[in-house]
Structures are given as structure tokens and as C-alpha cells.
Structure 1
Amino acid sequence: MANAVFTTEQKPVFVYGTLRAGQGNYFAILEGTTVQECDAVLDDYTLFGSGVPFAVQRDGRKVVGEVMDVDPELWAGVLHRLDRLEGYRGEGRNNMYDRKVRTVTLADGSTIEAYVYLAGETSRRWFSDCEEIPGGDFVKAERGESVPFLGTSD
């Protein structure tokens, strides 16, 4: 198919920043909407930013987060609120974050495909001077916990 249409079929969502359990946007958008939440890692990406993280591809790094499996009856509304929060207006647009399907690794070692909001064109320009978040763990970095980089160093 020459021009595949990006679908919004339900998949779990991998979250790594303010949408993680216990964080502000989790309470605003995800709390009470999930049927399952699991610790997970996104390989070959890293986090940049402070207060508002964004993930960019970087071989050998890892992003620590959680997979949120949203109740199917609530899916459309939750996806709409997530897209709005992340400044996602559709595939190929000038988005703050792009919604992509990526393979993430669950705590038990299994893998699953999930939506991930990755740095879009706008956020890459806006945060171009931000530092990498050590260990790819936004929550620990925000608490000031020392975390070594996961994966290989550059």
C-alpha cells in the first residue's frame, strides 16, 4: 500500500514522564482508566529535558517507564486527552510529540507493541539545549536520585 493510513486501533501506551503512576498528568488523565499497568523499558531511546521530558532515538540507551493498558470503553476519550496533552495533531504534522508504535520490554522480559509519544519536530527545536536525563528515568531524576546511564555510553 503506497500511502498507509495511520490507525488509532487500541494499543497500550508506554509512558515515561509526567504520565507515569504518581505523577501529575497520570492523575489528570490515566488514573481510573487502566485495566493494567506494568513497568517497562524502551530500548534505543533516551530522555532529554527537565520537568517535561521527551524521548529521542539513541542506540544503546534505555527509557524507563510504564505500559498503561487502557479500558477499551474509555479508550477513545483517553487517547484524545493524551493527544491533546502531547500536542499531537496527526501523522506528518508539526507536532510537539509524535505518537508512534514501538516495541517495549516489560519487567518480565516479554515484549509488546505500544504507543509512545516521541519528540516531534517542535520539541526537538524547543529543547535543543537540554541535557540528557541520566539512566532514562524521569521520575528518579526529578527526585534528585543519582542514576547511571543505562546502556552504552557515547
Structure 2
Amino acid sequence: MTARNLRHLPFFVYGTLRPGEINHDLFLRGRTVSEEPGRLPGAVLYDGPGYPYAVEEPGADVCGELVTARPESYGRLLLELDELEECVEGEPHGPYVRVERDVVRRRDGAAVRAWVYLAGAAVAAGLRADGCRIEGGDWLARRLPGPAAS
């Protein structure tokens, strides 16, 4: 499937593509019509080397944003995000795979079909075995300072 014949689904971003993160400005600024909070049910987050990986797991959620690209930016953005995530169509062994999943909008609880970059099979297996899970499923919250020690 090429970028030309894919449905124009929104993207669910949960790491460095979120607002305020480094790749948001590089890839998304000025190329979206909407960005709204959402959650990906049935997945957990693991810390990676400067970015997270989402791995499917029942009973958990990943926090992020549902991003709708401008129609005129969509094809190029899809190709650029695939390149950023080292995602090759039909290749399940890369670091990430792009899949369609239902994402729940926070404002109204509606499920929206979106593209999500999940950890590839080998990466997911390694993370399940000995990865550092991000509790609560929120990449941004992992950096918030906890209560001061007394």
C-alpha cells in the first residue's frame, strides 16, 4: 500500500511527536488541522533511548494526542513519519510498525480509527522481557518531579 491509496486517518502520537516535544515542531507544526488528547486502549509504554515504544497489552492505556493532518500535507507527512519511525511497509521486524487502531478521544469518549506506531515484534518481545515500563502510560508524566523527599 502506498501513501496515495491509504485512507487519510489521523495519527495517534504518544512520545516525541506530542506538543512541546522535539519532533512535534519538526514534523507537525503548521501541518495539522487538529490535535486533541486521546488514549490508546490495550497498550503500555516502555522507555526507549530518548523516545517511548507502545506495546499492545490488554487492560492498560497509553496517553497521547490524536492528530489530524491537513489534507495537502497528508501524503508527505505519512512518508516522513514512516521514515522517522523506521517503519517499512510490510516489514514487521523494524523498530516500529504502523497499524490502524481505535483511539478514544478524551473530550467525548468517541472511538476514532487512527494510525499508531507500535513497537515491532522483536522490539516488543525484548521490552516485555526486560524493558522499563512507563507506569500510567504517559510519556510526558514520566519526567514530572515527584513529591519532595523529607
Interval of TM-score (by shorter of Structure 1 and Structure 2) = 0.7 to 0.9
Q: SS at the partner of 2:65?
A: strand
Paired residues in the alignment total: 142
Query: Could you tell me which residue of structure 2 aligns to residue 124 of structure 1?
Result: 124
CA distance in 2, matches of 1:57, 1:93: 14
Amino acid across the alignment from 1:11: L
Query: Could you tell me which residue of structure 1 aligns to residue 96 of structure 2?
Result: 97
Deviations 1:61-105 (A, max 9, x none): 000000000001000111111000101011244221000000010
Q: How far 1:122 moved relative to its partner?
A: 4.6
Q: How far 1:131 moved relative to its partner?
A: 1.2
Q: How far 1:123 moved relative to its partner?
A: 2.8
Q: How far 1:28 moved relative to its partner?
A: 0.8
- Normalization by structure 2: what TM-score? 0.86
Pairing 1:71–2:75 present: no
CA distance in 1, matches of 2:69, 2:146: 30
Large movers: runs of 4+ above 4 Å: 125-128
Q: Give the RMSD, CA atoms, in angstroms.
A: 1.9
Query: Could you tell me which residue of structure 2 aligns to residue 137 of structure 1?
Result: 138
Q: How far 1:17 moved relative to its partner?
A: 0.5
Q: 2:28 aligns with which of 24, 27, 30?
A: 30
Q: How far 1:129 moved relative to its partner?
A: 2.6
Q: Unmatched 5+ residue regions in structure 2?
A: none
- Normalization by structure 1: what TM-score? 0.84
Q: How far 1:145 moved relative to its partner?
A: 5.2
Q: How far 1:57 moved relative to its partner?
A: 1.1
Change in CA separation of 1:88 and 1:125 when aligned onto 2, cut-off 3 Å: same
- Give the stretch that moved more between structures: 101-110 or 120-129: 120-129
Q: SS at the partner of 2:123?
A: helix
Deviations 1:94-132 (A, max 9, x none): 221000000010012111000000001353366453211
CA distance in 2, matches of 1:32, 1:89: 26
CA distance in 1, matches of 2:136, 2:78: 28
